[in-house]
Amino acid sequence: MNAKITEMDIIRQQMVAIDELKKRLSTQATEAEPLAIVGMACRFGGKVQSLDGYWDFLASKGNAVSTVPAARAQAFAPEDVVYTQKASFLDDITSFDAAFFGISAREAASMDPQQRLLLEVSHEALEDAGHPIDRKRGDRVGVFVGIMASDYGELVAARRPAQSVDPYHASGRGFCFAAGRISYTFGFRGPSLAIDTACSSSLVALETARKSILSDECDFALVAGVNVILSPAVNAALCKAQALSPEGVSKAFSADADGYGRGEGCGALVLKRLSDARRDGNRIYALYLGGAVNHDGPSSGLTVPSGPAQTELLRRAWRTAGVAPEQLDFVETHGTGTKLGDPIEIRALADALGARETSLPIGSVKANIGHTESASGLASVIKAALMLSRRRWLPQLLTGEKNPLIDWAKTPLDLAADSAAWATRDAQRVVGVSSFGLSGTNAHVVLGEAIPGEAEAPAPEAALPALLLLSAKTTTALKRLIAQYRQLAPDWSTEDLAAICRTTRKGRAHHKIRCAVVAETGLGLQAALDGRELGEPGHESAIMRWPVGDDGSEQARQSRDLLARLEGTRRAGALFTSLGLQPEQLFAPGYEQVTALAVQIVLLETLQALRMDLSKVQGEALGGQLAAWARGEITREALFAQALTDTPPGGAGDWSLIFEVPATSRRSEPEPPSASLWTDLLALLGQVYETGASLDWAKLDGAPADPKAPGALLGRAPHYLFDRQRHWLAEVDQPQFPTNGTPVSTVQSSTEKEKPVQETAGQSVGVADSYTRFDESLLRYGSGRRAPYLHWAPFAETPDFSWLKVFCPEAFDGGLSEAQESHYLNAISQMRAQSLRGIDFSQVERVLDVGCGYGTDVFDLAAAHDHLRLDAYNITLAQVDVVAKEIAARNLGRRVRVFHRDSAKDPFPDQYQLAFAYQVVHHVEDKAALLANVADHLDDGGLFVLTDIMAEVDERLEHLDSEARLLPIAHWVTLFAEAGFRVLSVVDASEPIGNFLHDPDFDRNIQTLREHISAEEADFAVGPHMLGRMLRKRLARYSMLTLQRDRLLTKAALLQINAALLAAPVPYARLSAADLGFQTSGEARRTQAASGAGAGAEISARRAGDASGDGAAIAAQVEALIREALEMPESARLPKEAELMELGVDSFTALLVVQGIKRELGLNYEMSELLGPGTLGDHIDRVVARAQQARESSVRAADASQGIDELSDEEVLRLLAEEQALNAALGA
């Protein structure tokens, strides 16, 4: 039986249907609403660093192509494979403001430079959009990044041993992190996607962002694209495919088209709904009307473009945008400059246009800046948006004649002529932009002109004077920003000034170091910024006086003006109503006093809405009662009662409010008293801002009654100026392929069977040139004694021959006798044995010779220990060739490798348990780099055997002819500690080496030698003679050292240990062959340290003990651990007021810090604590308190244990309970 349908049931059903219809209409309206491009930023070749620079470059038909810079040449090697050495390059990809983004130097070096570019350019685009970044706010912003290559990460992965890969390697190279890092850094919570469709990546990212906004996944979107050229493999592959232009130029639509020219760049834009853009007062570059994405499908090849697929794409994109072919005013094509690709695109575009009668101008920005690949789509969009916003076409750069394979006469298309302004018309201008990927993925988007009155908020009346707010993260950066504003300000109109000041308040993040000024004109702003000297905070009182007067007075005029600017007239009238008065009586004769009171209440309510702290406001005269109300001490009713009782309505009096604020900047001259209450208010707010207060600046400009009404227009204020530092991994600059015609040393790889490893033989420099010339002399003279002359032997007495005879015996009558040679070789062998004494080779597998000469030591070790695998570096090509041949002759190819590389610059190819350098380091200019390189590739506990010369005086000694650079011993102490080396033993061999180099007849002997070698080569031989004299006069020391890579000890401990041992060397004559038992394993060294053996354990334990009761020492220790984890130089400031995340501390570096606190101080400080809330100073205070509590507990326990037998049972239980409670509090 059917239930009876009542009238109410029908009504309910109709109401549900109406609701569903409303939702559908709302969704359709949202989907139909165009989006607005409200912010953009870019960097491209040709020194393009800004939107204005990009416009000027394109308008002048600029060409960014240049020869590859010397520092980037490895990406275009070898020249016999990579036939072009030209492209469009960014000026500097190695530098980055890591500190600004809270990234440590350690992490920054591992980051792909594309990620760094994306952060900086995205920040500039957000600033251009007037969006203040506040990562704690968690804005619902989507991030969409087009990216297609990770050259940096791939080069590092290929050239860095797995043992030395940094934990940041993965996050530094992955595409997903390129987008995710932006969202993380800026605190965005919308979708975050990295998109790789090859050359169409960034345009596909833009279309993906559009759909994400319209589906309400995010409130607005940041879209970016980036491309950097570093990989020689990619260039080699493109050249093998004949894809690149030999001239490096994309000759779009030209008869000379011969492939594309590669380009670097980064572009970013901010996209939001048009209604939101109008509400937020954004300046709009262009409207995004719609777009489409498709794939070529089954074309004649994976990388071959499909004309029909392109035609279908264009028609669908135009339908989505609601645009007919006749409405298009310009098309920015893909236009790469290939002889066949351009005609296919033109034919597809012509087919899509159909029977269009008027000629459609086209262009391709790739002719100017090269093909920026994954960034190319946005490069084109930014060009199109600039044309639409400036209402002017940009000309097409054409190389030679037009492509004859395109029948221009039969297509409705032509290349854009010279730059020209648009003709005035009512219809909206429309531009299409295409981007086609090598993967077959194509994209086309349609942009429309932002018509004033429909797309932009109207320019409001300039509210002058205006308050300008500037801030930065460092004083240097703020000074640079002030200088930039000073330079630009004179050219600003009053409307520009008002909009720019509004942007600095509402559209910029407010950093800790600040400056605020009030001005009415651009010139006035320049003058106000003159002489601004940022100083330490002081205190001063800001006094605002409020004289009263009748309606026609100046005082009344100023009060009316203030109420109007604060949109407070209605609120003041409401106050009158609450008193039983009429709003019309505001400013009426006889009501001056109550009017003044109402005006000041509106002012104070505005300051409260701005979130200004009024707890310390004071007042003079009648202002005292007003201040009491502002502080919350009396009610409004009591305020009115007292004010009106003390002064009758028709009376006169002054109201003065005193705001005491810290003064954070000094002006060259005091500001004169203002004749405007509005100016006084702005000056007060500026002073409060400089103290670091967080004010809600949107309340100052007021909000429209209608939330859909246009907001006050924002201006194009200058961007933040980054303070960039170099962050770069050396592996990236290593050559990957041998250059054409250069000799190569070929040896067997230890990891690839029967596959030769080829190492580039670069240019020999410095000492390498000298050794090369020596080798050539020896070959000319026929000497077979190349190896011995590189070694100095320890002689107990001066020899009866000149050491020059060892170098070249055939040059002297009688030469070198067998007894003399035997004596020399035995002394060499003995010294080598002494240098390696105590080393347990059963614990060693891989060995490194830092400077191998002719490989004598490498071959000796290989013969003595058949399980060893040895690598050797040498910068002298002639010697490398000799060693390579000897490796082959001895059949050691599977165990020994030789590399023609610089030990101070080129990372070593493996990790080692033992390294040695005999008479090498004194030749090296950058000794710190060499030691750091060795340390990076030495296992923890690994040994570094070093024999070399040090200066015994307190200054650097040099003999440039022999490339000898001797540092004082104190410098070596620091160098070893900074590299993480602990000195285990020091032997002074100055006397026996001085004996060997002593030659009373040196002048005569060197003259004999000069008859057989050049004067320049003979000058080099003078070096050892001079060094011998230094040794004998104790100006220098010949040291034999054994160092250990020690990650257990801090730098301070290493400094103390190293200084003590280097100050008390053992004389060579007292050495015995006893095994000193150096421990190379970490476990063995920990056992040694635990037992108290060794200077390192003693010093570390003593240092920790001292620190436990000294708060300053503990604080310094924690700071040192943070510096070490972040790899910060000691000169860099660690601000105590900064949060650790701002300093670049993340989960990995936090782990290093907490491990260090446990190791050095014996305290448990958990990761969750370190990564929790609090500044650096807060964390240091907690560690200090915990350490001091631990010490007090230890003292109490010691005191208790001394008289434990004398305590009662109750006292023992009480002490036990205290100990357990303390342990629980400390997390023990």
Placement of tokens 């160092």 in the chain: 1043
Among 965, 988, 979, CA closest to 1063? 988
Does residue 148 sit in helix, strand or coil?
coil
Q: What is the DSSP string of 750-778?
A: SSSTT-EEEE------THHHHHHHHHHHH
SS3 content of the chain, % helix, strand, coil (to 5): 45, 20, 35
Concatenate the DSSP letters of all residues of 6-60 into one string. Answer: PHHHHHHHHHHHHHHHHHHHHHHHHHHSPEEEEEEEEEETTTB-SHHHHHHHHHT
**Six token digits for residue 466:** 């205006």
CB 332 within 8 A of CB 364: yes
959 is catalytic: no
Angle at 983 between CA 981 and CA 986, to 5 degrees: 145
What is the H or E stretch that residue 623 is in? Answer: helix 623-630
> Are 967 and 958 a contacting pair, CB within 8 Å?
no
Instruction: Tell me which residue of 1049, 1140, 1133, 1145 sits closest to 1099, measured CA to CA.
Output: 1049
Fill in the amino acid letter for 1164. Answer: N
Q: Indicate which residue of 123, 131, 371, 727 is catalytic.
A: 371
Task: Return d(Cα 688, Cα 19) in angstroms, integer.
Answer: 50
Catalytic residue among 42, 199, 266, 501: 199
β-sheet bridge partners, residue 266: 43, 226
Q: What is the C-alpha radius of gyration for the chain, rounded to an integer number of angstroms?
A: 38
Tokens encoding 698: 């949107």
- Which entry of 334, 719, 791, 1179 is annotated as an active-site residue? 334
Helix (H, G, I), strand (E, B) or coil at 871: strand
Q: Which residue has the tokens 């102490």?
A: 973
CA-CA distance, 795 to 810, in Å (whole number)? 23
Whether 199 sits among the annotated catalytic residues: the reply is yes
Q: 305 vs 249, 297, 337, CA distance in Å?
A: 20, 10, 14
Q: Is 334 a catalytic residue?
A: yes
For residues 47 and 642, give the distance between their C-alpha atoms in angstroms, rounded to a whole number: 68
Nearest CA-CA partner of 467 in 496, 500, 489, 510: 500
Separation between Cα atoms, residue 894 and residue 620, nearest integer Å: 92
β-strands 654-666, 618-621: how paired? Answer: antiparallel
Long-range CB pairs of 1008-1015 (<8 Å, 24+ gap) are 1008/811, 1008/812, 1009/804, 1009/807, 1009/808, 1009/811, 1011/811, 1012/777, 1012/781, 1012/808, 1012/811, 1013/774, 1013/777, 1013/781, 1013/808, 1014/773, 1014/777
Encode burial over 675-702: b for 16+ CB neighbours within 10 A, e otherwise.
ebbbbbbbbbbbbbbbebbebebebbbe
Distance (Å, whole) CA 613 – CA 119: 35
- Residue 897 sits at φ, ψ, to 5 deg, of -125, 145
Residues with Cβ within 8 Å of residue 427, at least 6 apart in sequence: 327
d(CA 514, CA 471): 4
Taking phi over 0 as left and psi of -120 to 50 as alpha, with beta for the rest, 1027 belongs to alpha
Q: What token pair was written down for 708?
A: 């859909």
Q: Is 936 helix (H, G, I), strand (E, B) or coil?
A: helix
Cα–Cα–Cα angle for 67, 73, 76, nearest 5°?
85
Contact call for residues 530 and 486 (beta carbons, < 8 A): yes
Enzyme catalytic residues: 199, 334, 371
